[in-house]
Chains A and B, each alone.
Chain A
Amino acid sequence: MKILSKAVIGIMALLSLVCMSCEKLLKVQPPANQINRGLVFEDQQTANAALAGLYAGIRENSIIAGDKLGPILGAYTDELDQHASTTANAIFDIYQNQQIESNSVVYTAWQSTYQQVYAANAILQGVESATKIVSGEKNRLRGETLFLRSLLLFYLQQHFGDIPYPRTTDYLDNGKLVKTPAAQVLRSLEADLRESASLLNDANSNTERIFANKKTAEMLLAKVLMEQRRWADAEVLLQNIIQSGQYSWEADLNKVFVKTGKHVIWQLKPSLDGVPTQEANIYYFGNAAPTGYAISANLYNAFANSDQRKQKWITSVTVGANTWYRAYKYKLTLNNSTEYSIIFRLEEAYLLLAEALANQDKVAQGVPYVNASRQRAGLIALPLTISRPELSDEILEENRREFFAEMGKRFFDLKRAGQLERLKQTKPNWKTFHQLWPLPQKDLLLNPALNPQNLGY
């Protein structure tokens, strides 16, 4: 047995010798398509690329993407009909106001938006510890990112009410995060947006108005304030935007959705040259019955015949005896070189200001801001003597006509005005609790701290 043990020891010694260099043998090349996180914020260029990734993520893959917010909330309220050929699908349930907590559209909206919030937090953390980026650039990066995170959380809050407000990338903490009450969310958004506005300049960093600037942050801040019913504070901001001279009224209805317009406050640029906006594709159908979204009869009838928007922003499709209407604001489904997805435009600031003024009983001051878009569309001006409730009503209606199929504005306007109950007239399944969407079931199961579920679900 001596020979045996000697032999075994010999073999093992030999093999261990071979393996002494194992550590070295296992060293691999880093992956070519990935960059170490630490290096990203060591360089201005890559930090910008991270921010570009966030803008693109919001455009492609968040609740406010052009093919999400507008059509989904349009169908949820009274703007759009959904003509899915099979009724058993998630968007049809939303259209029927029958969404349940496992609805996949609801889940995707929630999940994709929080993914972008994570990306924003990653940039905020990276910029914070960056050593080689100059402070001016650092401010811009932080300002834009804070704005984008606020935008995402604002729309989440509007859909879901109380929501978690993650501020870091720590998944252990975020995975157990409890909900922040809606009022507190709005207060935090206000703080974040004030900081963002203070870090950003009025000048656009790009002539195409595709990056957030100071006014963009203030526009969102105004919306946040209006949700808090702080009309006077909102008025100041909106006046400031309108009178800044940076933006001018677009008189031609045909040019409202053209990217070069001076009325554009902020728009998202499609991924590549020639690629159409998501809004142009999502509402399209031609020569056939719709299988997706079409303008509801209710909305179509809300336009007076003299309203130019009825001709210019809506088009009809007739098949046999049936005629359907589709939203035609964005027109290019091919070879798009002139349209970007507009998020904020001056018209919204006008109507928000009118609303802020009306709510402070400044009716005569408010009326001209409603008339601007009315008159452009060929409607007669409202008299300055109109009553306050009448004005509020006119603002709601004008918002509906001006912003149909855009950013889900109808839902948020009705909600802010406390008028969601109106939907009961046209939507048979509408219940009061539909003012909020259900928190996704999957996340409630993964993080029980998110309980309780929103009322009614």
Chain B
Amino acid sequence: MYKKYTNKRGASRRRILKIWLMIRLTTVVLIATLMQVSAASLAQRVTINQKKTTLAKVFREIHRQTGYDFLYAKGLLDQKRLLDVKAENEPLEQVLEKALSGQSLSFTIEDKMIVIKEQSFIERVVAYFDKIDVSGKVVDERGQPIAGATIKVKGTDLFTSSGVDGTFLIKNVNENSFLVISYIGFQVREVKAAKELGNISLLVEVGELSEVIVNAGYYSVKDSERTGSISRITSKDIQNQPVGNVLSAAQGRMAGVSIVQTTGVPGGGYDIQIRGRNSLRNKNNSEIDGNTPLYVIDGIPFGSELSSQYSTVILPGRSINPLNSIHPNDIEKLEILKDADATAIYGSRGANGVVLVTTKKGKPGKMRLAFNSSLAMSSMVSALEMMDTQQYLAMRKAAFANNNITAYPATAYDINGKWDQGRFTDWREALLGNNAISSNNQLSVSGGSETTSFLISAGHQQQTTVFSKDFNYKTSNLSSQLSHRSVDGKFQLNTSNSFSIQGNNMLRSDYTKQAFNLSPNAPSLYKADGSLNWEENTFTNPVASFNATYSNEQKQFLNSLNMQYTLFKDFQVKLSGGLNYQRFEELSLQPNTMYNPAFVSGQSSANSRAFKNNQDRFSFILEPQLNWTYKSGDHQLDVLGGATFQREVSELSSVMGYGFESNLFLGNIAAAKTKVIDDQISSEYRYGAIFGRLNYQFNNRYIVNLTGRRDGSSRFGPNKKFANFAAIGAGWLFGKEDFLSGADWLSFGKLRGSFGTAGSDNIGDYQYLDTYTVSTSSVYNNINGIIPSRLYNPDYSWEKTTKLEFALEVGLFKNLIDFSLARYINGSTNQLIGYQLPSVAGFASVLSNLDAKVRNTGWEFELSARPLSGKFKWETGFNLTLPKNKLISFPALEGSSYANQFMVGYPTSIIKLYNLEGLNPATGAYVFTDYNGDGKISSPQDNRVVEDLTVKYFGGWNNSFSLGNLNLSFLFQFVSQRNRNYNNGLTVPGSMNNQPREVLNAWSAQNPSAAYMPYTTLSSPPHLLFQSSTAAVSDGSYIRLKNIQLAYKLPIKTAVFKHISLYMQGQNVLTFTNYFGVDPEFTVLGFLPPLKTYSFGLEFTL
């Protein structure tokens, strides 16, 4: 107590009066102590840095450094109480003060003896009155305020957060206590409490590796201590990009994660592969792709893609990505679990990786209102050049001449004089040249008290198409999030709710292919009066397809709830739960006006058709969990156990209407003359599991992580419902070892490895049942026919993937440079696929386990550096992935139905091609290698050239420069691959289809060394071989300036605005490639490739 007076720097006057009496009582002792303490402090200084330590240990260390002895009553020290003590060459008494802060202990120093005593009553009373209101401002090195920093009174439950301007105020703080100030990305700082602390500057955390907390799904782990392989991007990378789906923003940013957008039409799908394709099941040979990852949003597994029924000709693969429903700006971070250690806890659904989405949370502090608005313009780009009218007509004339046809056929309108041969239309410009405009507005309100925080966010996005402005895609989101913890910190609750509506109103079929194929002298689209021009029924007008629409509306409610209670010390019970309700409605309207009125289908609205499909999906999940942490000395153990139960019920119903009195009634199928009610399908999926994790750390250096799961799924037959999955991971933080303590350049070093299994049950429901299905197209004599549903195989079981990984993570020069290198070897067995059968078997395939093994191996390399960190800041990151995929074994492949699709020892994405040797200079005929010498070019004897379409390597390079308020960042994405080129889908050169200019190089007597055979108007078997020859696959590598952003923070501060910034973004801005085709990223000709987008936006905070 006496000591406390000596150190008092300025008690409030009103308190001085109050305690005046007490001071008088103890004056004498006070003076004596004062002298002693001063003497001690002059003599002794201590350096100590112990975390989660006990008082006894701290005393031992002080004893070691100073030689002072401690004296205290047995049982006085709370051995279980853990504290952090950090002091750098500080006076002994100050160190003791820190160590005892928050405990009802006091000390005295006599000679070389430190006596620890319990505080007397008086001392406690003084402590009670000795309370002040502490205020200050948290700033960074440059004096810029840090909002949202946590200020905690050490040893108590008192805490607050800094406001937007960095300021904070904590009332009733014990005058002698210390404040711990922390903020993500900055070093933690401790300061002694005082009334006015002024500016407290935090230093930037050196190195990102140290204290970043990574979400691993069922648990979180410090990035430095994780044993699994987890890629992540945060809102910093996602924020404000002109994209509708976070996956677009993630392209090129994550090692081992290949993302390809499958269409430029908004609201479509993505092909995402995490460490390669494990399953042989793909969209070509099965209804459901076996390679899709598991999506988990705020802990709630999101069901697989909804099966769209009518979008076949507008969205490739009828694919609608589940993450379309979440606004990218609502996402705090995206984590992707890759290896066994990270994914085995997701068991049967983790084989293809897990995508974890964490949405933004509210922060304690002043209420904050943020508004963000942007406008973007997108256009379709392709470097492919097509023939003009002159070149095209010359080709056509040559084709007829080659076929010895002198009288042009009646249907060759382009050349027989029916169509104006002087016309030229760039059909890509005319049909795909519209600028798609998108707008994006988002408003969020957040705030909270010390125990409760909230965030409410509302957003609206709208985007038109390059086809026409009449079509659009809209999304609206409303989400709210609430966090609460009890004052004692024992109970925690997090809940988030989001509601979204996506409305996609598109034309029914993507006519991109026609834009490339249409004759350049084809007639105009519209007549002078604005009506569709059919040019006297000689012209299949592409924009007639505007009359046919595909629209969908998806409403989704997603809720997640996490509750946690600390039952007793270090032991928590947790309950996670959530529900997901999706309502999906699709409408395909095909009025007769989409057809030429001269044809039967175009005659009257009696030929109009309307299709409507409704889907409802409700799923809920419950996951009780127990978590126990045990620490003793250098040992630390984390134990997690839990169970999952999930139930999903899907209902699907569709109706069709044929024949309407008027097309005005098309939206109402009840008005149709013929109404067909299609299947009313309901299906149920149940899933149950128990899982656990055991993490052991020794000395903060050696870590072992065990995870396991036992899964049951209703998707398997009676005897195959259950399976076990497990993994072991280990890490060694060698950078902390003594033998490296001299190596100043090494700031962090870790070796880790993992091995384990994960699986996949993504095969659809009820596939093991032997049933007949009611089919509405099978009505005969008013009897609803039933037809066999499938070939029956009750015995298929889980597909398993074994994953092995080793990785090295290093931080250099105080983490100025961080890099990591990972090697993975994954093997998938027990392949569950639709085994293809010849037609004679009755069905194209049967679901069964194939004893084939696919191995995915690869190297992943990531580097990040901060070359400049002064006034001019430069941060850069680079990632590179070298994946390899190989079919290891496939018993009896020869002679099986896959003989032509796969080859043992080769990747699973090979194609077999005819070898084009060139053209016969004399005749212009294609010459293919006749491998078996039978004089005939045929499959499978002669298509022997194996082309590997697997990506060789891919990655990205991103940079961020800032100077003052200005920030410039850009990302280059690169991919090295072979790809099918335009020749693969090339129409016969000389037929009534426009061609790329390359096709001008066709054989003629004058051009004997051409690339293409002589033009012809007839269908041509050699051309079909050419489409499947080595000429149809070529280099598809590209480097793309994926994203570029310039942001400027306005240096104004008004009473109203706390923060205003402006930004400009470009997406898919530049592409460098030698690819011959529409777009190298994109492989399906006939659909719109991803668009080039520029956006401009504004963000402000109140």
Write out, one digit per residue, whether chain A residues 22-41 have a CB within 8 A of any chain B CB (1) or not (0). 11011111111111111010
A445 within 8 Å of B (CB atoms):
yes
Q: Are A269 and B781 in contact (CB under 8 A)?
A: yes
| Whole-angstrom CA separation of A273 from B658 in the bound complex | 12
Closest CB in chain B relative to A189 CB, distance in Å? 16
B923 touches A (CB below 8 Å): no
The residue that A15 contacts in the complex, of B410, B643, B645, B1019, with Cβ under 8 A, is: B643
Partner among A26, A60, A273, A440 whose Cβ is within 8 Å of the Cβ of B712 = A26
Residue B769 at the chain A interface, CB threshold 8 Å: yes
Chain A minimum-CB-distance residue to B635: A1
**In the assembly, what is the distance between CA of A104 and CA of B548, in Å?**
27
* Alpha-carbon distance between A59 and B779 when the two chains are bound, in angstroms: 10
Instruction: Give complex CA distance A105, B682 in Å.
Output: 35
Contact with B along A80-123 (1 / 0, CB 8 A): 00010111110011001010111000010011001101110110
Q: Which of B682, B778, B786, B788 has the most CB of A within 10 A?
A: B786
Q: CB distance B1018 to A98 under 8 Å?
A: yes
- For the complex, give the distance between the alpha carbons of A436 and B730 in Å: 66
Q: Are B786 and A171 in contact (CB under 8 A)?
A: no
Whether the pair B788, A119 counts as a contact (CB closer than 8 A) is yes
Minimum Cβ distance to chain B for residue A138 (Å): 18
- Report whether B780 and A52 are in contact in the complex, using a CB–CB cutoff of 8 Å: yes
Q: Is the pair A49, B690 in contact by a Cβ cutoff of 8 Å?
A: no
- Which listed residue (B645, B775, B786, B1021) contacts A25, Cβ 8 A? B645
B791 / chain A contacts, CB cutoff of 8 Å: 171
In the bound assembly, the distance between CA atoms of A352 and B1019 in angstroms comes to 37
Cβ contact within 8 Å between B1019 and A52:
no
The residue on B at minimum CB distance from A115 is B842
Residues B842 and A60 in contact, CB atoms below 8 Å apart: no
- Cα distance A169–B712 in the bound complex, in angstroms: 31
Q: Which of A3-11, A70-78, A213-221, A416-424 is found at the contact surface with chain B?
A: A3-11
Closest chain-A Cβ to B231's Cβ sits at a distance in Å of 30
Docked-complex contact A16 and B772, CB < 8 angstroms = no
Contacts of B538 in A (CB 8 A): 289
Q: Are B686 and A57 in contact (CB under 8 A)?
A: no
Specify which of A23, A110, A285, A446 lies most central, judged by the most chain B CB atoms within 10 Å of its CB: A446
State whether the Cβ of A210 lies closer than 8 Å to any Cβ in chain B.
Answer: yes
**A53 interface hit (Cβ, 8 Å):** yes
Q: Does B322 contact A (CB under 8 A)?
A: no
* A34 touching B781, Cβ below 8 Å: no
Closest to A58 in B: B780
- Taken together as a complex, chains A and B put the C-alpha atoms of A16 and B624 apart, in Å, by 13
Residue of B nearest to A164 (CB): B840
Does A274 contact B789, Cβ atoms closer than 8 Å? Answer: no
- The answer to whether B1018 and A87 touch across the interface, beta carbons within 8 angstroms, is yes
> Is the CB of A174 closer than 8 A to any CB of chain B?
yes
The answer to whether B840 touches A175, judged by C-beta atoms less than 8 angstroms apart, is yes
- Asked if A360 is at the interface of the complex by the 8 Å CB criterion, the answer is no
Whether B686 lies near A28 (C-beta < 8 A) is yes
Pick the contact of B765: A16, A31, A46, A210 (CB < 8 A): A31
Q: In the complex, which residue of chain B has the Cβ closest to the Cβ of A59?
A: B780
Q: How far is the CB of B449 from chain A (nearest CB, A)?
A: 35
Residues of B within 8 A of A271 (CB): 777, 779-780
- Interface membership of B746, Cβ < 8 A: no
Contact of B781 (CB < 8 Å), options: A54, A206, A274? A206
Q: Mark A192-210, 1 if CB is under 8 A from B, else 0.
A: 0000000000000010101
Interface size grouping (class) on chain B: 35 or more
| Cβ A36 vs Cβ B769 within 8 A | yes
A121: nearest chain-B partner, CB-CB: B842
Which residues in window 614-668 of B have CB below 8 A to A?
Answer: 624, 626, 628, 630, 637, 639, 641-643, 645, 658-659
Chain B contacts of A304 at CB under 8 A?
A: none
B714 touches A174 (CB 8 A): no
B606 to chain A, nearest CB (A): 5
- Chain A residues with Cβ under 8 A from B683's Cβ? 31
Q: Contacts of A53 on B, CB cut-off 8 Å?
A: 772, 775, 778, 780, 785-787
A171-B686 in contact given A33-B679, A98-B1018, A288-B599 (Cβ < 8 Å): no
Contact of A52 among B626, B639, B784, B940 (CB under 8 A): B784
Q: A14 contacts B641, CB within 8 Å?
A: yes
Q: Which residues from chain A contact B772 at a C-beta distance below 8 Å?
A: 34-35, 37, 40, 46, 50, 53
B783 near A52 with CB under 8 A, answer yes
Given contact pairs A31-B765, A111-B839, A271-B779, A119 touches B787 in the complex (Cβ within 8 A): yes
Question: How far apart are B534's CB and chain A's nearest CB, in angstroms?
Answer: 8
**Are the C-beta atoms of B674 and A16 separated by less than 8 Å?**
no
Give every chain A residue within 8 A of B689 (Cβ-Cβ). 19
**Among A36, A56, A121, A174, which residue has its beta carbon within 8 angstroms of that of B771?**
A36
Interface segment out of the listed B268-276, B427-435, B985-993, B1005-1013 = B985-993
Asked if B690 contacts A34 (CB within 8 A), the reply is no
Q: Is A55 an interface residue (CB 8 A)?
A: yes
B681: Cβ under 8 A from any A Cβ: yes
Q: Is B747 an interface residue (CB 8 A)?
A: no
* A243 interface contact, C-beta 8 A: no
Q: Does B375 belong to the interface (CB within 8 Å)? A: no
Chain A residue nearest to B793 (CB atoms) is A171
Q: Give A276's nearest chain B residue, CB to CB.
A: B600
- Looking at the complex, which one of A25, A59, A117, A166 makes contact with B688 (CB distance below 8 Å)? A25
Q: Chain B's nearest CB lies how many Å from the CB of A90? A: 9
- Assuming the contacts A86-B991, A118-B843, A171-B842, asked whether A49 and B712 have C-beta atoms less than 8 A apart, the reply is no
Contact with A along B720-732 (1 / 0, CB 8 A): 0110000000000
Say if the beta carbon of A281 comes within 8 Å of chain B.
Answer: yes
Q: Are B780 and A8 in contact (CB under 8 A)?
A: no
The complex places the Cα of A8 from the Cα of B841 at a distance, in Å, of 52
Interface digits, A437-457 against B, CB 8 Å rule (1 contact, 0 not)? 000111101111010000000
Q: Is B774 an interface residue (CB 8 A)?
A: yes
B883 within 8 A of A: no
Given contacts A25-B688, A34-B773, contact A118 B842 (CB under 8 A): yes
Q: Report the minimal beta-carbon distance from A181 to chain B, rounded to whole angstroms.
A: 16
CB distance from A400 to the nearest CB of B (A): 25
Q: In the assembled complex, how far is the CB of residue A374 from the closest CB belonging to chain B, in whole angstroms?
A: 32
Q: How far is the CA of A446 from the CA of B688 in the complex (A)?
A: 38
Does A18 count as interface, using CB distance less than 8 angstroms? Answer: yes
B944 to chain A, nearest CB (A): 14
Residues of A within 8 A of B659 (CB): 274, 334
A93 and B1019 within 8 A (CB):
yes
User: In angstroms, how far is the closest chain B Cβ from the Cβ of A13?
Assistant: 10
A52–B778 touching, CB < 8 Å: yes
Across the interface, do B537 and A287 meet the contact criterion of CB distance under 8 Å?
A: yes
Interface positions of A (Cβ within 8 A of B): 3-4, 7-8, 11-12, 14-16, 18-19, 22-23, 25-38, 40, 46, 48-57, 59-60, 83, 85-89, 92-93, 96, 98, 100-102, 107, 110-111, 114-115, 117-119, 121-122, 164, 166, 169, 171, 174-175, 177, 206, 208, 210-211, 269, 271-275, 281, 284-289, 291, 319-320, 322, 333-335, 440-443, 445-448, 450
Could you write out 26 A-B pairs with CB less than 8 Å apart?
A: A11-B628, A12-B641, A14-B626, A23-B712, A26-B687, A26-B712, A30-B766, A35-B771, A37-B770, A49-B783, A49-B786, A52-B780, A86-B992, A89-B1019, A93-B1019, A96-B1019, A102-B1024, A114-B841, A115-B843, A174-B840, A175-B838, A269-B781, A285-B598, A288-B536, A288-B537, A335-B673
Pairs of residues from A and B, 5 with the lowest C-beta to C-beta distance, nearest first: A118-B842, A53-B785, A288-B598, A288-B537, A56-B778
Chain B residues with a Cβ under 8 A of chain A: 410-411, 536-538, 540, 596, 598-600, 603, 606-607, 624, 626, 628, 630, 637, 639, 641-643, 645, 658-659, 673-674, 676, 679-690, 692, 694, 710, 712-714, 721-722, 765-766, 769-775, 777-781, 783-789, 791-792, 836-844, 846, 895, 897, 899-900, 938-940, 987-988, 991-993, 1017-1019, 1021, 1023-1024
Name 18 extra pairs, CB < 8 A, besides A26-B713, A175-B838, A208-B781.
A4-B630, A4-B639, A15-B641, A19-B710, A22-B688, A23-B712, A28-B684, A56-B780, A60-B778, A86-B993, A87-B991, A88-B1023, A101-B938, A269-B780, A272-B674, A289-B538, A333-B600, A445-B897
